[in-house]
Amino acid sequence: MAFEDLLDRVGGTGRFQIISVFLLALPVLFIANHNLLQNFTAAIPGHHCQLPPIDNANSSWVAGSVKLEKAFIPLDRSYRPERCLRYTRAQWWLLESNVTVTNTTEMDTESCKDGWTYDRSEFSSTIITEWDLVCGQRAMKQMGQSIYMAGVLVGAIVFGSLSDRFGRRTILIWSHLLLAVMGVCAAFSYNFVSYCVFRFLTGTAISGIGLNTVCLIVEWIPTRLRAIVGTSTGYFYTFGQIFLAGLAYAIRDWRWLQLTASLPFFIFFICSWFLPESARWLILTKKPEQAVRMLKKVAKINRRHEEGEKLTIEVLKSNMKKEVAASEFTYSAVDLVRTAIIRRISFCLSLVWFSTSFSYYGLAMDLQSFGDNIYLIQVIFGAVDIPAKLICATAMCYIGRRITLNASLILASLAILANIFVPKDMHILRTSLAVFGKGCLASSFNCVFLYTTELYPTVIRQSGLGLGQTMARVGGIVAPIVKMTSEYMSSLPPIIYGGAPLVSGIIACFLPETKDQPLPETIEEVEERLNKLKNTEEMQEKLDIPMFKNAC
């Protein structure tokens, strides 16, 4: 509570907060681009086997034929050209205008020996067409996305602890540079292996940016405005999804698209040098002089000159005795499971982070299954976040974080599971349910980000966010793999994608409410607050028993 008072004195809602939040949120616009980039850079265009060389005897006879592939490419059950098979010998008789063939797969066929021919009307180049990741290599597309998510996972583990040790601002600066460099290198990859390596490193940088952006925003914003500001920042990610659709529509070559999404981070790297370090973190890492200078700077920008002049190290220490005492101890990721209450919080949040990310990317990275116009679907999937996050922010402010999170997860689960019973030809209904489910999962993401920062104390907040991000990226890694189970049972992926948020929505009921509560600074403060809440609830239960009511 002491730091909240100091923040109000120097200005908790002034020009400083507006400028810093904007500078922190702007890169989030392009983070959405990288997370969903493979919807376009790894899009699978129409394709079939490359036609073999035609001998001289038949070349003049077939000259001018616009359907030459009929003689070489069999048709599947939907009467479309097979993507991975061709006839062992040319079937010239199929080119006759009066020939009707209902099933050509019974003739002798073989795999594509001379490569593939791709439909480049929609995508001039993707990693699929670049390295022929089709047919026997089609799993490589999902593998590429899983490797990227593995990088985000590693980044969450590494940068979560490093930022608690070296500061939010420092790690954020170098994460911007790492993303810029690795993103550009990915655009110039010479093979699929090098592409995966650079995408992995890009993913690690994404975690560094996401973790520290959230913490810097939350630790400089008063309690009453955290939900609103957090949601406003989330809208940058929302508009980033819509912006990606326009960017991909304008740039159809995957290398140029990858490069365009990466270059802005060089600018963000330069701008991030002007960002402030968290005063909370400075106090708890025994740097009160820097904390006082930072608070004085905030007071000056917010035109609270008199309050800034009154601030001294002695005033800071006298107002924050509990927090300063906490800085005498060293904390690590082990503290996330050291006490019973923190352990319960970590378990519940881990499951929520995992299931939200798992189901979110299960839907968001499968745009081609919802319609032919992938750009329009991307816009719709992005636009649904606008009302979803607005409703989420309103619910968090008036109803509370826990109920909002529960409702978002359970509604998402029901929408995904309902799609199992919708016929395949009802595209509009199937897409509508998927869009609704994705919107609910976006609300869950919006809520759990803020909820996590409010549940963990300052001394382990970054480690807690790192744990959540870790579990989210495990979900992101597993999601593409689960999608491949549709080859064995078409309804299996939606059953799994829908079941995970249902379970986590129930588990989230065991989390404490944080609405209108100040950010806890120490583990002991969290324990004390929740024990007090537990005692209050037990007393209320006793008062509800008739014999206790009579005794009163």
Domain 2-44+131-510, second-level architecture: Up-down Bundle (1.20)
pLDDT at 536: 63
pLDDT at 301: 82
Q: Please, are residues 157 and 471 in contact by the beta-carbon 8 Å criterion?
A: no
Residue 100 DSSP code? -
pTM of the model: 0.74
In degrees and rounded to multiples of 5, residue 253 shows phi and psi of -95, 130
pLDDT at 57: 44
Q: Which of 508, 478, 472 minimizes the C-alpha distance to 496?
A: 478
Tell me the domain boundaries of the chain: 2-44+131-510, 47-118
Question: Radius of gyration (Cα) for the chain, nearest Å?
Answer: 28
pLDDT at 149: 85
Amino acid letter at 321? K
Strongest mean pLDDT among 88-102, 119-133, 187-201, 350-364: 187-201
pLDDT at 283: 76
Instruction: Write out pLDDT tens, residues 328-347.
Output: 666 666 778 888 888 889 99
Q: Please, are residues 23 and 43 in contact by the beta-carbon 8 Å criterion?
A: no
Q: Which of 209, 186, 213 minimizes the C-alpha distance to 197?
A: 186
Q: Is the pLDDT of residue 352 over 90?
A: yes
Instruction: Write out pLDDT tens, residues 248-304.
Output: 999 999 999 999 999 999 999 998 888 888 877 787 777 777 777 888 887 878 777
In degrees and rounded to multiples of 5, residue 513 shows phi and psi of -80, 140
Instruction: Write out pLDDT tens, residues 173-188.
Output: 999 999 999 999 999 9
Higher-confidence position of 11 and 119: 119
Q: Is 117 helix (H, G, I), strand (E, B) or coil?
A: strand
